Amino acid sequence: MDSLTRTLPASWFCSEPLYQLERKGVFQKSWHLLGPVTRFQDRSKKVKYEIAQTTLIVENRSPESDGIGKDGIVVYAEDQSIEIKSHFTPSGLLFATLSTKAPDFDDYFTGLEDLINKVDFSKLPHRRSISYEGKFNWKTMIDGFQECLHCQYTHPTFTAQYPPTTYLVTNHVNFSRHLSDPSKTTTSDGLFLYFFPICTLNVYGGGMSSFRTCPSTKPGVARMEFDYYHAGTDEEFEKYYKFVRQVALEDFELCERAQMNLESGVYGEGILNPIKENGVAFYQGRVKEMVYRQHEEDQKERAEMERMEDKCSGQEVNSVEVPVK
């Protein structure tokens, strides 16, 4: 049992100081998916993102006559004193950071472009975006996304098409790939990607959706943001939308109940199934590692400040002239 990975303790889902460590140690040092190029084709509207209390703005400054393309799309922080990084993959996905503390894109997501470059993300137009608040920690939602043990009883409509019996998660450098049926899955149906820490991209049911679970300053509250893409008629889109919304609502209810258990002490800590919950072990391991590193950095910084303060106060004492009788 000692060799099995344990979950993060419930306190990590309920603690405000821990969230502040996550904010500095995880969110500000990560890359976040903003969307495929088709999300930014309405030149009249700026697209705003608020991730871990940093607001990013995406603008398409190219002329309308240019059509769908990456040229002219710019990303910047609303607070212009904050410097960020952004990156467009050759296949048309836009990613950004919240600071310059994140590593280079290729170091953060090594191997991602080889996988997603097989998909052309400029084919599916943006159809709808929705956002609402949930009473759960951001990790409670990601826990659920990163495994499919709950799928059979929570998502009957989904599992009828994507069997959980063959569900497989492969973990890579800061991203995971989910395969509902490894023998059949193509990159155009049944492609589920998780980008550490809070973004996902899901190509299934004839369309594409992405969601972000944005943390608030309250550890038990997160904001869900969904973007939907589809190339069909309005009627086809609505049918797809109904199908994928059903799955999202089932997850939402599950997460609010799980958070209640985490906050009330019903659930403390457990052991993860090494095969069926390898995705949870992977992302929780990254959170733990980055939070510990941040804590260490903060402690070193504090110790250094104390040392400087001691030195300064020592100098003051030394500089005081002691009258000699």
Minimum CB distance to Fe ion smaller for 251 or for 277: 251
Minimum CB distance to Fe ion smaller for 227 or for 251: 251
Q: Which stretch binds Fe ion (CB under 5 A): 106-114, 180-188, 208-216, 249-257?
A: 249-257
Which one, of 174, 35, 202, lies nearest residue 105 by Cα?
174
**Cis amide leading into 197 (omega within 30):** yes
Minimum CB distance to Fe ion smaller for 225 or for 251: 251
Minimum CB distance to Fe ion smaller for 143 or for 251: 251
Q: Could you tell me the smallest distance in angstroms from the CB atom of residue 83 to Fe ion?
A: 36
Euclidean distance between the first and the last CA atom of the chain, given in angstroms as a whole number: 75
Taking CA atoms, 273 is separated from 119, 147, 226, 289, in Å, by 32, 10, 29, 20
Region 59-78 residues binding Fe ion, contact defined as CB under 5 A: none
Q: Could you tell me the smallest distance in angstroms from the CB atom of residue 236 to Fe ion?
A: 24
Q: Could you tell me the smallest distance in angstroms from the CB atom of residue 281 to Fe ion?
A: 17
Minimum CB distance to Fe ion smaller for 123 or for 150: 150
**Taking the CA of residue 219 as centre, how many other CA atoms within 13 Å lie in the half-sphere pointing to its CB?**
18
What does the alpha-carbon distance between residue 136 and residue 221 come to, in Å, rounded to a whole number?
A: 5
What does the alpha-carbon distance between residue 211 and residue 132 come to, in Å, rounded to a whole number?
A: 11
Q: Could you tell me the smallest distance in angstroms from the CB atom of residue 112 to Fe ion?
A: 23
- Total residues binding Fe ion (CB under 5 A): 1
Q: Could you tell me the smallest distance in angstroms from the CB atom of residue 187 to Fe ion?
A: 21
Q: Could you tell me the smallest distance in angstroms from the CB atom of residue 62 to Fe ion?
A: 38
Q: Which stretch binds Fe ion (CB under 5 A): 11-19, 86-94, 246-254, 279-287?
A: 246-254
**Taking the CA of residue 108 as centre, how many other CA atoms within 13 Å lie in the half-sphere pointing to its CB?**
23
Taking CA atoms, 35 is separated from 90, 313, 317, in Å, by 13, 52, 58
Structure tokens at 204: 């299934």
Among 147, 225, 227, 251, binds Fe ion (CB under 5 A): 251
Residues in touch with Fe ion (CB under 5 A): 251
